[in-house]
Amino acid sequence: MPDEDLSPEPFERAVACVIPAKDEADRIAATVDAVHKLVGVDLVVVVDDGSTDGTKEAAERAGAVVVRHERNRGKAAAMETGAAAVAERDGARPRHLLFLDADLTDTAAGAGPLLEPVQTGRADMTIGTLPAQVRADGSKAGGHGFVVRLARAGIQEATGWAPEQPLSGQRCITRAAFDSAVPLAAGFGVETALTIDLGRKGFRIVEVPIEVRHRATGTDLRGQLHRAKQYLHVRRALAARSALPADGGGPSLRSLFPRRLRNEH
């Protein structure tokens, strides 16, 4: 991305980790424990986004500050709520923000490399590139890559840069960069939109390999529905930014929905 220093930040500034979470009672404590081990992170905020299990209590026991949405409002709203909670605790020098998924468990400790480029002023946002993810049975995770290709092509259309993992939610960002992108795009388009909005403004974005693993989406009906919804949200975010690829964004919407589901209607 452009190497313009649009948001000069004091070096080695502290980092607050914001973790959006919904119904992650079985995983959130291990994730918070691992984040506490990251050098430079002095505050962990979990945003309980309308959970119906014990996510809030588990996060609090692990030592996180917990902010709760009484109803599910989505990841973008959770990110904004978490950032606001950090701002309330910041002094004259606002912290950088580290956003991590709630289901990383102990592998969240591998997110450390995201911090240094932002803390030392070499990047305004880092995006974590993850190793190949596998499901609990050892099989390869993921679908056919439709959503990744759409997001990558849209970001390239808008900024001239094609990220390796455009959908990664593991990111560290300066407060100045984050504030410039608010309000965030809703739904699963939030990461794609954030990259475009910052890239167009000249903020420096760098991908950084990290060794973290999350709960992988399968190829069953639930997994296919998740990817179809994700595709729609990313396409909507691109359209709102006049960044749809020239080919219109890949496969037809009909082809993304499982045949079984289509036959039921």
Tens of pLDDT, residue by residue over 218-265, are 556 566 676 788 899 999 999 999 999 976 555 544 544 444 444 443
Domain count, the chain: 1
Sign of CA dihedral 89, 124, 68, 59: negative
Domain assignment present for 208 = yes
* Domain around 133: 15-263
Q: 51 burial class (0-12, 13-18, 19+ CB within 10 angstroms)?
A: buried
Q: Is residue 2 part of a domain?
A: no
Segment 216-225, tens digit of pLDDT = 665 565 666 7
The residue behind tokens 């890559």 is: 145
pLDDT band at 140 (very low <50, low <70, confident <90, very high): low
**Is residue 61 in some structural domain?**
yes
- Beta carbons of 118 and 172 less than 8 angstroms apart: yes
Q: Examine residue 192 and state whether it is found in any structural domain, yes or no.
A: yes
